[in-house]
Chains A and B, each alone.
Chain A
């Protein structure tokens, strides 16, 4: 049996929750005040994911922009965040760039594209 302590992000209440797991299966969630805490806790301990946002360098911008902000198109497993960041470190994108343009396809082999979140002229 394994227990994980979490703070719920559902609302400012921030319920401190204890999740009990057996062989990777959640057996109980305690400490939450409402259903949202239960849902969040189960996802967070079994398959936590995050959208990663960052920037990459830009070349040839008419407006003098040196970076373009970007994000992973969908969320990534939490454990892949730093591999994604390392892959972005060496990327330079050529202006003009449109919101939604794919800057890095299949970043770090995660199957997720990194897309631009701002137009750069």
Chain B
């Protein structure tokens, strides 16, 4: 079997990419989804707040997904459910497996990686103590409550103040559980301010910043956890331990792009994002392999996932039409607290009408200005009253700016005090 484009993942990124690729002329494409339905993580995100940028209204996760699923169905874009991509070779042969067809290999002219991300697990956090039942990642608890109809526990402690943990604090409270405390290792929350207010403050759930779990009690089931304050070097401070009785510990300690397939096929990974290094077309180090959404870098808002994935879908369509081309990429340089940029490199010849460069900062910074310089000349600036690691930033560049610098040698994004 052969296709022009295979999209790995039927979540928000895969759906938006498929629609955009189709609308850019790709007719022979296939979405591969391992779950039993399209929509990905949105299916379990039943809270509202999605789509403010895209649709100018506040939708729940399933409603947001339904609009893109409808777009895929209207175009008759084929998709496989309950199907796992086991392997992708560097020459774009995809090995798929499901219960009806067994193992099959499919060749593609272009591949779009849209596998999303995974939660950091207890094993990755090095929490001491026994290994009893009752320790879940926040997303697992979310799936249990919202899709499977189970309450994972009655008395809950949450470690990590990522958005899923905050959302679950409220959700479990509404379902009758008692959420005793949310402990966050860092001196600031990784979640959106709105979620701290509406998920914790609304229900009187305390948030303890610069605190972590230092012990888990219980042999068969969690019986309690010990929380302690940490110093500037994030080490627990002896004497600050506090015991909480609980039957459940939720972990909401960050997300990791799911790039096993990408690594296996030899895609270069950015160690800062744990996602592929991509150029202006969101193309990885392997020509014709594109990436978008949380597999590329973890997003806060699905609207930006959809936007990014649509750009990747259009770029994949252009690649399928034109084939391999000679490229002259320059890296995007950054200074002043930027941790990474997506894309990491650009070939100005391939920039269409506009280019969005997304980035994150490494710490909370107030009263700053973001400057964009082309060969030392300022082409754009943006005042930012506040920037935080938990909120993705972006700068938009136009075709005209690149045209005005035909021999562009350096693109620099710099944050300065305003």
**Interface residues, chain A, CB within 8 Å of chain B?**
7-9, 11-14, 33, 50-55, 57, 63, 65-67, 69-71, 78, 81-82, 85, 99, 117-119
From A9, which residue of chain B is reached at the shortest CB distance? B194
B174 contacts partner chain A, Cβ-Cβ < 8 Å: yes
Q: Are A11 and B385 in contact (CB under 8 A)?
A: yes
Pairwise interchain contact A7-B193, C-beta atoms closer than 8 A: yes
Q: Would you give the 0/1 interface string for B181-197, flagging 1 where the beta carbon is closer than 8 Å to chain A?
A: 00000000000111011
Task: List residues of chain B with CB under 8 Å of any chain A CB.
Answer: 36-37, 43, 46-48, 58-63, 66, 145-149, 174-175, 192-194, 196-198, 201-202, 366, 385-388, 390-391
Q: Taking A12-B391, A66-B148, A67-B146 as contacts, is the C-beta distance between A117 and B60 under 8 angstroms? A: yes
Docked CA distance A70–B232 (Å): 43
How far, in whole Å, are A66 and B36 apart by their CA atoms in the complex? 14
- For A10, give the chain B residue with the smallest CB separation: B193
Chain B residues with CB below 8 A from A71, complex form: 46, 48, 60
**Bound complex: CA A86 to CA B190 (Å):** 31
Q: Are A57 and B58 interface neighbours, CB within 8 A?
A: no
CA distance A91 to B175 in the complex (A): 14
A71 vs B62: C-alpha distance when bound (angstroms): 11
> Looking at A54, A71, A118, which has the most chain B CB atoms within 10 Å of its CB?
A118
Partner of A54, one of B46, B192, B387: B46
Which residue of chain B is the closest to A6 with respect to CB atoms?
B197
Contact between A53 and B46, CB atoms less than 8 A apart? yes
**From residue A47, how far is it (CB to closest CB) to chain B in Å?**
15
Contacts of B391 in A (CB 8 A): 12
CA distance A119 to B43 in the complex (A): 11
22 A-B residue pairings within 8 Å (CB atoms) = A7-B193, A7-B197, A9-B194, A9-B197, A11-B193, A12-B388, A13-B366, A14-B193, A14-B196, A50-B202, A51-B58, A53-B60, A54-B175, A63-B36, A66-B148, A67-B147, A67-B149, A71-B60, A78-B202, A99-B62, A99-B66, A118-B43
- Determine the chain A residues whose CB is within 8 A of the CB of B385 once the complex forms: 11, 13, 33
Interface centre among B48, B59, B66, B145 (most CB of A within 10 A): B48
Q: Return the chain B residue nearest A51 by Cβ.
A: B48
Q: B149 to A55, Cβ gap below 8 A?
A: yes
Residues of B within 8 A of A51 (CB): 48, 58
B239 vs chain A, min Cβ distance (A): 29
- Residues of B near A70 (CB, < 8 A) are 46
Contact yes or no, A7 B60, CB < 8 A: no
Query: Beyond A12-B390, A71-B48, is A66–B37 a contact (Cβ under 8 Å)?
Result: no
Q: 8 tightest A-B contacts by CB?
A: A69-B46, A118-B62, A9-B194, A13-B386, A117-B60, A12-B388, A66-B149, A14-B193
Which residues of chain A are within 8 angstroms of B390 by Cβ–Cβ distance?
12
* Cβ distance A61 to chain B, nearest Cβ, rounded Å: 12
Q: What is the CB-to-nearest-CB distance from A16 to chain B, in angstroms, rounded to a whole number?
A: 11
How far apart sit A54 and B192, CA to CA, in the bound complex (Å)? 21
Contact at A55–B46, with CB atoms within 8 Å?
A: yes
User: Do B201 and A7 have beta carbons less than 8 Å apart?
Assistant: yes
| Extra A-B contacts (18), CB below 8 Å, given A65-B147, A70-B46, A85-B175 | A11-B385, A12-B192, A12-B193, A12-B386, A12-B387, A12-B390, A51-B58, A53-B47, A54-B46, A54-B174, A55-B46, A63-B37, A66-B148, A66-B149, A71-B48, A117-B59, A118-B63, A118-B66
* Chain B nearest CB, measured from A21 CB (Å): 18
Q: How far is the CB of B215 from chain A (nearest CB, A)?
A: 31
| Cα distance A8–B192 in the bound complex, in angstroms | 12
Give the chain A neighbours of B46 by CB distance below 8 A.
53-55, 69-71, 117
The distance in angstroms between the C-alpha atoms of A54 and B116, with both chains bound, is 25
**Please, which residues of chain B bring their CB within 8 A of the CB of A69?**
46, 60-62, 146
Docked CA distance A84–B146 (Å): 17
Give the residue name and chain of the B residue nearest to A118 (CB): B62
Please measure, in the bound complex, the distance between the C-alpha atom of A80 and the C-alpha atom of B48, giving whole angstroms: 18
Determine the distance from Cα of A112 to Cα of B47 in the docked complex, in whole angstroms: 17
* Contact residues in B for A9 (Cβ distance below 8 Å): 193-194, 197-198
